[in-house]
Structure 1
Amino acid sequence: MSLFRKKSIQTLISETNSKGVKLKKDLGAFDLTMLGIGAIIGTGIFVLTGVAAAEHAGPALVISFIMSGLACVFAALCYAEFASTVPVSGSAYTYSYATFGELIAWILGWDLILEYGLASSAVASGWSGYFQGLLAGFGIHFPKALTSAYNPANGTYIDIPAIMIVFLITLLLTQGVKKSSRFNAIMVIIKLAVVLLFIGVGVSYVKPENWTPFMPFGFSGVATGAATVFFAYIGFDAVATAAEEVRKPQRDMPIGIIASLAICTVLYIVVSLILTGIVPYTELNVKNPVAFALSYINQDWVAGFISLGAIVGITTVLLVMMYGQTRLFYAISRDGLLPKPFSKISEKKQTPVINTWITCLLVSIFSGLVPLGRLAELTNIGTLFAFMTVSIGILYLRKSKQTSESTGFRVPFVPVIPILAFVFCLYLALQLPKLTWISFVIWLVLGLVVYFLYGRKHSHLNSSK
């Protein structure tokens, strides 16, 4: 039974108030909402929309976004209750420690390392591509060997721009959470302005005839499209990793999670409708569908702003994903399941500086040297797995009666909402390719090896026993 030893919610909260250097409580509801939007709006809306429309859903892409959005809304309500009840760093990892026990918590933590780590590396690589495209417009080019990950056949050996942006984001993160959140808020406002510009310009060029046939690939295509564009919603759960640095977590955490997801869902639905209304879906299989749509209607001046918005959008995604990764490492290390340097806090900055530079090194290696290929798809399945676990966790939380009716936000219509969240996420996960599932299982097996060789022995619960 030691594999399923638990930490009570009271213990988790008391550990954050223990003596010593702690994370600084500097964030409010607005900061959290901006963090959520910063993580969500990025490559999904600027890249995936075209491919999903052309290959899977057609004009019914809007239904794909609604399906994915519903899965996320149900899961977000569950996250909001946990974040309000357990205002501790670590997101789903910490929640699982209180409900399912140590082994499940470790599996969730290992799963989230996959989500945040691979997403950060993939996003850094995507940022590099956009940045090089922007420089090329001014006649500036990197030597080919330094433009992409290791691939001697193509003459590339290391992605220097990707490593450069990871290093700069790390410098920002080590300056403290307030400075990072201010930078994020400015960048989020810029990219929201760019998305609204596309909507404002594009709406008058919509041709309703482009929406027929509305569902050319049938409902199965819409479902596959939903699983594909689910990547566009990934990120709101990263808000939960900030719980320990929020001034009024019981009030502000639910606001940040739900508000950011609601804003992004509405924008996604409107953008997908306008995109498929401007351009016939068969022509949208391009890497930059939003900019392509504006060029299609001869609005090239706006297309330039869209490219800038994509770079800004990807930068904020990278910032929040790397932030989430550092706070996850911090929470796991504080429980003894990872080495102590991951949970060491700088007295001056009140942030885990050593941990942040270790994260920088790992993300740089993957983004700079390793062609990720299909590994990026693992981000989707990793996130869906976390969402399903958190949804079921709400049922365990209520059954255990660890919280009172007056404790923060509570999910309405329990058990209906948590069950709907689980079913929606499971359905989307089953739409993913078989290879993704096999790779995911291999990753979890590696995690179990790490746990039994190191984590189980060094766990603080093991020491206290």
Structure 2
Amino acid sequence: MASFKEKIFRKEDPSVYDTKDAHLVRSLRVRDFLALGIGTIVSTSIFTLPGVVAAQHAGPAVALSFLVAAIVAGLVAFAYAEMSAAMPFAGSAYSWINVIFGEFFGWVAGWALLAEYFIAVAFVGSGLSANFRGLIAPLGITFPKTLSNAFGVDGGVIDIVAAIAIILVALLLSRGVTSAARVENVLVVLKVLAVIVFLIVGATAIKASNYVPFIPKYHETSAGAFGGWQGIYAGVSEIFLAYIGFDSIAANSAEAKNPQKTMPRGILGSLVVAVVLFVGVALVLVGMFKYSDYANNAEPVGWALRQSGHAVVASVVQAIAVVGMFTALIGMTLAGSRLIYSFGRDGLLPKWLGKLDDKKRPNHALTLLTVIAVVIGSVFPFAFLAQLISAGTLIAFMFVSLGVYGLRRREGKDIQNPSFKMPFYPVLPALGFIGSLMVFWGLGNDAKIYAGIWFIVGVIIYFAYGSRHSYLNKNKKEGK
């Protein structure tokens, strides 16, 4: 009988994943991954976070918060690009860490990411609902409180718009990734155009005096640190959730055409475009009005346009933003369903989750994700949902950054030698780990507590079910 240590460190043979994932259809190209990445990263956050973080933490220096967060995300993105080129498997960090460090550590990384996907789908659905209801309110159309808010919040029973949006996206994805990619590509172009329109129109209302002082003097507020480098750092931890969408690209690498080229280009390209757009919006927004004017403002972009006399442009941008939020839902739902499929594929969750339908689509996993996301979005309020998203992802980012060291020792042996490799090895993987750890450390205590509870639940599930039903452990027992 295998010892506890042997169970913990058992590693999956990468050729097994090649065989298991061979049934998935490789149909996604570079442009599909660019659209998937940009659509997921440039989502609700770009229309809300620049104003919120400027008012609460950084002032005009919110652009620096976005840049620092982008640098940390970029370091990890290099690691993701090499990993996904070398091991283009469904499940991204879960599958990679399973191969590099062992099944238990892969489960911990995957379980952390699962929190992101469950909650992010519900989070974006709730944000889409709030913006949609705000958009139609001037037309005299309102929903009763019972259908507008999460259960128990201000008389709410279910956020019906969020539930319908999540279900519609699931129905689209159930038809296959090719159909979803076509819709994603169109919506992403519309969303980027909306951001560009804001940048052009907003630039005409910029007042240089609003940038002075660019880095306000540091002091503590009820929201935490404000001003100075402390405020910029506090802003980084809050902003980081905006950049985590590139993981959704890697989760679909088993469905990529020529992953050696498509994965690095999709991951790094989408991040570069996102950084330019985020920094641009942040600079224009704080230049239009004093940063303090955005305090407690849920829609700073639309508000700034209306206050500067561009009401029609504001309505158009907000309408496109609502439609564009579907791109983030598509990306997160697609990635989350592939992660759940990977757990079922390996026996760590019920094996029916790892089954494909007659057209080679993991729709069992998609159904489970959809049901849970609808329940979470209906039960938990919007603010609560934001707590766990960054925490879970940062844990996976730390694993992947360290995983590059293990990967390099095996490239060209039992793992293929990828055409893309993380530059400045061995320095950059360490910097990626340290950067992710620092951002995690800057999260609120609630986020850390929730992450700790989620981790304990995951460990219990692994030892109570996963390790007992794992195909890897079963095959080792049988001597395969």
TM-score category of the 2 structures, normalised to the smaller one: over 0.9
Report what 1:13 is aligned to: 18
Report what 2:220 is aligned to: none
Report what 2:221 is aligned to: none
Paired letter, 2:176: G
Cα offsets for 1:249-294 (capped at 9, x unmatched): 1111101000000001011111111111111111112111111111
Name the count of aligned residue pairs.
Answer: 459
Name which of 257, 265, 274 aligns with 1:247.
257
Report what 1:130 is aligned to: 131
Question: 2:417 and 2:148 mapped to 1: Cα distance?
Answer: 55
Name which of 261, 266, 287 aligns with 1:256.
266
Question: 1:228 and 1:253 mapped to 2: Cα distance?
Answer: 27
Q: Is the CA contact (8 Å cut-off) linking 1:122 and 1:376 kept in structure 2?
A: yes
1:372 deviates by: 5.0
Q: Is the CA contact (8 Å cut-off) linking 1:93 and 1:108 kept in structure 2?
A: yes
Question: 1:424 and 1:62 mapped to 2: Cα distance?
Answer: 18
Work out whether 1:231 is the aligned partner of 2:241. yes
1:63 deviates by: 0.6
* Partner secondary structure for residue 374 of structure 2: helix
| Structure 2 length-normalised TM | 0.93
Question: 1:203 and 1:334 mapped to 2: Cα distance?
Answer: 51
Q: Is the CA contact (8 Å cut-off) linking 1:115 and 1:378 kept in structure 2?
A: yes
Cα 1:323/1:401, change in 2 over 3 Å: closer
Paired letter, 1:455: G
Q: Is the CA contact (8 Å cut-off) linking 1:243 and 1:249 kept in structure 2?
A: yes
Work out whether 1:4 is the aligned partner of 2:20. no
Question: 1:92 and 1:340 mapped to 2: Cα distance?
Answer: 20
Cα 1:337/1:355, change in 2 over 3 Å: same
Paired letter, 2:379: L
1:402 deviates by: 5.5
1:12 deviates by: 2.3
Paired letter, 2:350: P
Question: 1:94 and 1:321 mapped to 2: Cα distance?
Answer: 18
Cα offsets for 1:59-79 (capped at 9, x unmatched): 111110100000011100100
Question: 1:317 and 1:347 mapped to 2: Cα distance?
Answer: 27
Paired letter, 1:325: G
Work out whether 1:188 is the aligned partner of 2:197. no
1:408 deviates by: 2.4
Report what 2:445 is aligned to: 434
Q: Is the CA contact (8 Å cut-off) linking 2:346 and 2:354 kept in structure 1?
A: no
| Structure 1 length-normalised TM | 0.96
1:360 deviates by: 1.2
Question: 2:100 and 2:12 mapped to 1: Cα distance?
Answer: 8
User: Which sections of structure 2, spanning at least 5 residues, go unmatched?
Assistant: 1-5, 217-226
1:135 deviates by: 2.3
User: Which sections of structure 1, spanning at least 5 residues, go unmatched?
Assistant: none
1:15 deviates by: 2.9
How much is the aligned-residue C-alpha RMSD, in angstroms? 1.4
Paired letter, 2:77: A
- Bigger CA drift: 295-304 or 185-194? 295-304
Question: 1:14 and 1:331 mapped to 2: Cα distance?
Answer: 13
1:130 deviates by: 1.2
* Partner secondary structure for residue 456 of structure 1: helix
After the TM superposition, which residues 283-432 of structure 1 pair with which residues of structure 2 at under 5 Å, given as runs? 283-285=293-295, 286-348=297-359, 350-371=360-381, 373-401=383-411, 406-432=417-443
Q: Is the CA contact (8 Å cut-off) linking 1:9 and 1:402 kept in structure 2?
A: no
Identity %: 38
Q: Is the CA contact (8 Å cut-off) linking 2:126 and 2:382 kept in structure 1?
A: no
Paired letter, 1:56: H
* Partner secondary structure for residue 17 of structure 2: helix
Q: Is the CA contact (8 Å cut-off) linking 2:74 and 2:268 kept in structure 1?
A: yes
Report what 1:172 is aligned to: 172
Question: 1:309 and 1:280 mapped to 2: Cα distance?
Answer: 26
Cα offsets for 1:364-387 (capped at 9, x unmatched): 111123325334221011111111
Question: 2:444 and 2:387 mapped to 1: Cα distance?
Answer: 9
Question: 1:356 and 1:15 mapped to 2: Cα distance?
Answer: 18
After the TM superposition, which residues 136-147 of structure 1 pair with which residues of structure 2 at under 5 Å, given as runs? 136-147=137-148
Paired letter, 2:83: F
